[in-house]
A = this chain, B = another copy of it.
Amino acid sequence: MKNRFDLNKMDLPGDVKKLSYEECDKFAAQIRKILIETVSHNGGHLSSNLGTVELTLSLHRIFDSPKDSFVWDVGHQAYTHKLLTGRADTFDTIRLKDGLSGFPRPDESEHDAFICGHSSISVSAALGIATAKKLNNDPHFTIAILGDGAFTGGECFEGMNNAGKSGTNLILVLNYNEMSISKNVGALSKYLSTLRTKESYHRTKDAVENVLDKTPIIGAPIKKVVRSSKNAFKDMLLHSTVFEYMGFKFVGPIDGHNMEELDDGFAAAKALQCPTVVLVETQKGHGYPPAEANPGGYHGVSAFELSNGNPDVVPTDSYSCVFGRRLTDLAYEHNNICAVTAAMKFGTGLQYFHKAFPDRFFDVGIAEQHAATFCAGLASSGMVPVFAVYSTFLQRSYDQLLHDIGILGLHIVLGVDRAGIVGEDGETHQGIFDVSFLTTVPNIKIYSPSCYRELEVCLDKAILEDKGVCAVRYPRGSDKTQREYIAPAVDFEYEQNGSRVLAVTYGRLYGELKKAQAQLEADGRKLDILKMVEIFPLSEKYAEIMRGYDKVFFFEESYRYGSIGEKYAAMGIPLELAAIDNYVPHGKVEELLDDVGLSAGKMLDRMTANFDENDKT
């Protein structure tokens, strides 16, 4: 199969239109090989991309990108699209620093109509693009390709509620695959499943044509498309779905691995020239022969959760799992503790809790707004809900934190996972804003532990002792400090070495700072360190410590505006703040920490300039 199709020599995406169905299947196989090879090197989203190969090929056969606009939701299923749109030669750089992004990016290619790292935005974005086309009398199409996971997010519904009657050339491709759906994402999943299997929805070709005969103007061309296809549109359905109630035409379900059905379906949707939903059934991981990869990896696919972020099954040695296990331990003793996740059970380490307390575990789907208010409802009735959520996705709960939780001072604990730089998923996923927006919630308390043991004691305190809204934030990955605390700090740790210079930090950066301190010491220079654990509200105690120094460095893995360092500086402490100044692109965590000046090396550079010979012991 090797080099049967040379992606770099083909004139893509146009040449995809020239392939026979047989050639398409072979081309798809070749693409799968590239996907598997690349992801095995660079990491990334394998299963979802293997599921969308034929779907993507067909879209590029029926539509004309970039005149027709593709919006991928979430964007991690767009790898084949990248291969077909001028990025085959650099595809091996995907997710690497300065390489291709793992998500669509308009600044990477004109074929990427929009970004999408957070789920459920595609209908809204595509409706905006389609509306602009309509206003400009541009007859081209806007196609949103969304997974069934995206469908559980409220913004998707808001978009659908507006799109059906928009009179635009908007096509929503609903990529339904049962493997991605956990049991608990709710009613809609059940409905889609019904659509797929219910006999009554499987109309005959005649029935479809009967409908088309009654459809003025556009009926005839669609009928022509239908007739020109060898296989009847046995699954095509133009009426009686929820989508039709919402103002859409409906096509499907279509076998997402059958090129001919796909081509026919998309051609029909195109001919309709109105807001249309196309339901495509795909199989995640399709075409990935277990023998070609390690069998454990393939088996692991089943553990992949519905995810709008990182699909990794979190290793046992991680903050997430320490959090999940500790929470489970606490729940054995306190039967009012509940755990809530927005489609991130494994990612947040809640699988332990789920197993032990299925009645008190709630996976609400990709629905962070609901998750927060649901917690508020639980808390108002005496439960202690713990919402485990990635920092970047908690942004969706901001209004609920302020309005539904904060005003009443309800006791809710946020387990803010992936706080700080997350790495390869890039700027849509970096958890660099939570400190800034959480500190705007009146009367909140925020912990940022620097090791596993601190995470445990912070969680204990937040759940058992504190009142009101509490957040415990911790980074992606594992504890690199290898510290064994008997009495870990729950508020702060102050290390005095008799220096005139103090470095202040919290969370993961403490490990970096300790490395920088060791280097300074090796050079004969002393450094005092204040490690905060309870980082907010501000503490006069911390301020007093800082005021005792000639020079204070404040290192913070957080966006600068709204940062903790900024707040202490505003108290009149002349500290030098090193924080994050802008969005952070993708790359390895250590590379990115260095880029933003927060690696041990960069800390050392910054501080060294402030020591002179007198500082040597």
Contacts and interface: CB of A to CB of B under 8 A. Distances in A.
B373 A128 contact: yes
Given A187-B164, A373-B128, A121 B400 contact: yes
Contact of A187 (B165, B194, B362, B428): B165
A570 interface: yes
Interface string A384-425: 010000001101101110111011100000000000000000
Interface in A151-173: 152-162, 164-165
Given A427-B407, A567-B566, A125 B369 contact: no
Interface stretch (A18-26, A432-440, A598-606): A432-440
A246 interface: yes
A145 interface: no
A442 interface: yes
Contact of A246 (B130, B160, B187, B403): B187
A494 interface: no
Nearest to A442: B582
Contacts of A79: none
A538 to B, nearest CB: 9
A80 interface: no
Contacts of A611: none
Interface in A257-289: none
Contact of A131 (B156, B190, B365, B378): B378
A383 B127 CA distance: 13
Contacts of A233: none
Contacts of A85: none
Nearest to A160: B187
B152 A154 contact: no
Contacts of A130: 377
Contacts of A245: 187, 190-191, 194, 242
Please indicate which of the listed interface residues A135, A165, A399 has the most CB atoms of chain B within 10 Å of its own CB. Answer: A399
A382 B132 contact: yes
A285 B408 CA distance: 31
A121 B436 contact: no
Contact of A377 (B125, B188, B360, B367): B125
A125, A152, A155, A185, most chain B CB atoms within 10 A:
A155
A107 interface: yes
Nearest to A186: B161
A184 to B, nearest CB: 8
A132 B378 contact: yes
Interface string A175-202: 0000000000111101100100000000
Interface stretch (A35-43, A112-120, A539-547): A112-120
| Residue of A164, A360, A402, A436 with most chain B CB atoms under a 10 A cut-off | A402
A136 to B, nearest CB: 8
Say what secondary structure dominates the interface of chain A. helix
Given A359-B135, A395-B399, A440 B442 contact: no
Nearest to A128: B377
Contact of A440 (B373, B382, B561, B574): B561
A192 B121 CA distance: 25
A151 B419 CA distance: 33
Contacts of A359: 135
A375 interface: yes
Contacts of A165: 186-187, 190
A376 interface: yes
Given A158-B364, A398-B399, A562-B440, A246 B191 contact: yes
A353 B288 CA distance: 55
A132 B380 CA distance: 9
A30 interface: no
A582 B396 CA distance: 22
A132 B364 contact: no
Identify the 5 closest CB pairs spanning chains A and B, nearest first: A128-B377, A154-B154, A132-B381, A158-B370, A124-B373
Given A114-B377, A158-B365, 7 more contacts: A118-B404, A131-B374, A153-B154, A242-B242, A242-B245, A407-B583, A437-B437
6 contacts: A124-B376, A132-B381, A154-B154, A161-B370, A162-B370, A395-B403
Interface of A: 71, 106-107, 113-115, 117-118, 121, 123-133, 135-136, 152-162, 164-165, 185-188, 190-191, 194, 242, 245-247, 338, 359-360, 362, 364-365, 367, 369-370, 372-383, 385, 392-393, 395-396, 398-400, 402-404, 406-408, 427-428, 433, 436-437, 439-440, 442-443, 559, 561-562, 566-567, 569-572, 574, 577, 582-583
